[in-house]
Structure 1
Amino acid sequence: MSKPILIAIDNNVATITLNRPEAFNSFNREMALLFQEVLDQCEENADVRSIVVKGSGKAFCAGQDLKEVTSPELNPGFRKILEEHYNPIITRIRKIKKPIIAAVNGVAAGAGANIALACDIVVATEEASFIQAFSKIGLVPDSAGTFFLPRLIGFQKASALMMLGDKVNASEAEKLGMLYKVFSADTFEEEVHKLASKLALMPTKALGFTKDLLNQSMVNDLETQLAKESELQITAAESEDYAEGVAAFIEKRRPNFKGK
């Protein structure tokens, strides 16, 4: 039986595949806990300098496996699902000091949509769609959806999508600012690979600092944010990658960043 989460590392790019295609890659407890383990491996592995999260089959992720929560034998309960599954996943995605791409190849619904939106860069195929499906079954958005979606597309649009549960296609999601780019299905894998490979060749420390600053910008006032920018800029200026970047600029050559 195949694992519900797969990982492959090649040329400093880690590709994490949500691998329950028969259930549209919906999360059960085993998958959620294994996803956290794999994210930890990516954080600790110095050879990993960019991360791609994608789904196997036709879907990206349909959110929570409702068969699990309606099973008397398997249901872990909503407290465990939130506190031990989704909240730790979102925290890891935002704290890993490496860029994470959500490669949305199909439907991303409920927690699946919000896990994608928590990533640093979201790209999608033309066939992809995003659904805040919670209201359809009497639940509220989780997995930081109420945190990220209003910041991405504005309060009014986010409120409507969460309350009405409308499906948003990839083209509309791009126009709303929910994602970075849409690619055709024929070129999707190639474009994702190019994007991940480009990130893996960039100054990883600086990208991690940028991610940290973006996280803090969600809650900081201007003065606090300026102070944090100064602190991390000074630290970045002491890195090997900065020295290499300046040298390459002066010598008119391509920099060879090492993520140090």
Structure 2
Amino acid sequence: MHTPLTGYTRFTFTRDDRVLTATITGNNPVNGVDEAMHEELARVFTDLQRDPDSDIIILTGAGRAFCAGGDFDWFDEQIAHPERFRDIGWDAKRIVTTLLEMEKPIICRMNGAAAGLGATIALLCDIIIADERAVIGDPHVKVGLVAGDGGAVIWPQLIGYARAKEFLMTGDLIPAPRAAAMGLINYAVPTAELDAKVAELVAKLQGNPKWAVRWTKVVANQPLRVLAQQLMDASIPYETLSNMAKDRAESVAAFREKRKPNLTGE
């Protein structure tokens, strides 16, 4: 089935033979996730899988960031209208499940900061190659939210529960070289070498029989797919509840105003 990659406002697509690069192109300098991007993320991986003219996907970001998490204007809308947060639950699950269901290999070219949902998307890719100046982390808690959009699924599988819980509960960002050293990502390379490293991995994948590579990924992802189905039905409701807490609004306001939040525990 041919599904043209059209109608997207937060992604651009380029092709090099049978390699397709999908570039996150947000409406802000750090490719923060707004409502439009969230909706497109819930369908783009299905469309990429169905694209008949590609065998390998490279996912990257435009400008100086990969994807730096939620857009703060969208946060304000969610706080003022909690039903809008509730309404994105279906799409939130589909972002994670469709990315894990993709059969085509997907390489993350992490050109800059990957935070929150951006970090989840990066880590759910098959091979993550980062600019050594980039940082990665899941600071949901810093804006008053449960790390419910996939962080609790993938982080413990990559670096173990002790370290994963530390970073998910503190929201600390990790420099790419340290992330590579702990096994969170595959490589951290100098900026000038990023494209060459991506091309090297693409060539290695292309040098093997397509279906052997593709179905090896399917088998390896099976436990993650089961885990995601189990956890997301709990994590999304918890995240929805945390959006209605008083400290959520205060955390977002404090972040905007570059001050320490006055947290009450409510």
| TM-score, normalised via structure 2 length | 0.75
CA distance in 1, matches of 2:27, 2:204: 29
Aligned to 2:69: 63
Q: Determine the structure 2 residue equivalent to 1:150.
A: 156
Instruction: Tell me the equivalent position of 2:85.
Output: 78
Q: Deviations over 1:184-240 (max 9, x none)?
A: 1011122213322432443222222212211224588xxxxxxxxxxxxxxxxxxxx
Q: 1:87-102 to 2 correspondence within 5 Å?
A: 87-102=93-108
Write the letter of the residue equivalent to 1:45.
Answer: D
Secondary structure of 1:71's match? helix
Q: C-alpha distance in 2, partners of 1:218/1:60?
A: 23
Q: Tell whether the 8 Å contact from 1:90 to 1:144 is kept in structure 2 after alignment.
A: yes
Cα distance in 2 for partners of 1:112, 1:14 equals: 19
2:180 alignment partner AA? E
Distance 1:166 1:191, change over 3 A: same
Q: Secondary structure at the match of 1:182?
A: strand
For 1:219 and 1:193, locate their aligned partners in 2 and report how far apart those are by CA, in whole Å: 28
The answer (yes or no) to whether the contact 1:109–1:132 under 8 Å persists in 2 is yes
State the number of aligned residues: 218
Q: Which moved more, 1:31-40 or 1:7-16?
A: 31-40
CA contact (8 A) 2:19 2:55 kept: yes
Match of 2:25 among 14, 19, 32: 19
Task: Output the amino acid matched with 1:211.
Answer: K
Cα distance change of structure 1 residues 24 and 49 upon mapping to structure 2, 3 Å threshold: same
TM-score (norm 1): 0.77
Q: Which moved more, 1:166-175 or 1:136-145?
A: 136-145
**In structure 1, how many angstroms separate the alpha carbons of the residues matched to 2:21 and 2:158?**
25
SS of the residue aligned with 2:58? strand
Once residues 50 and 207 of structure 2 are traced to their aligned partners in structure 1, the CA distance between those partners, rounded to angstroms, is: 18
Amino acid at match of 1:88: R
Q: State the Cα deviation string for residues 150-194 of structure 1 (Å, max 9, x = none).
A: 010011000110111111101110111101111110111222133
Q: 2:126 aligns with which of 120, 126, 131?
A: 120
Q: Is the 8 Å Cα contact of residues 115 and 137 (structure 2) preserved in structure 1? A: yes
Partner SS state of residue 60, structure 1? strand
5 Å matches for 1:104-115? Answer: 104-115=110-121
Percent pairwise identity: 31
Match of 1:6 among 3, 12, 16: 12
Would you say the 8 A contact 2:100–2:225 is kept in 1? no
Unaligned regions of 5+ residues in structure 2, if any? Answer: 1-7, 227-266
For residues 57-109 of structure 1, what are the alpha-carbon distances to aligned partners after superposition, in whole Å with 9 as ceiling and x for unaligned? 1111011212123137998722233322x321211111111111111111111
Runs of at least 4 residues of structure 1 off by over 4 A?
72-76
Higher deviation after alignment, 62-71 or 210-219: 210-219
Q: Which runs of 5+ in 1 are unaligned?
A: 221-260
CA distance in 1 between partners of 2:224 and 2:86 (Å): 26
Q: 1:175 aligns with which of 181, 184, 196?
A: 181
CA distance in 2, matches of 1:35, 1:214: 23
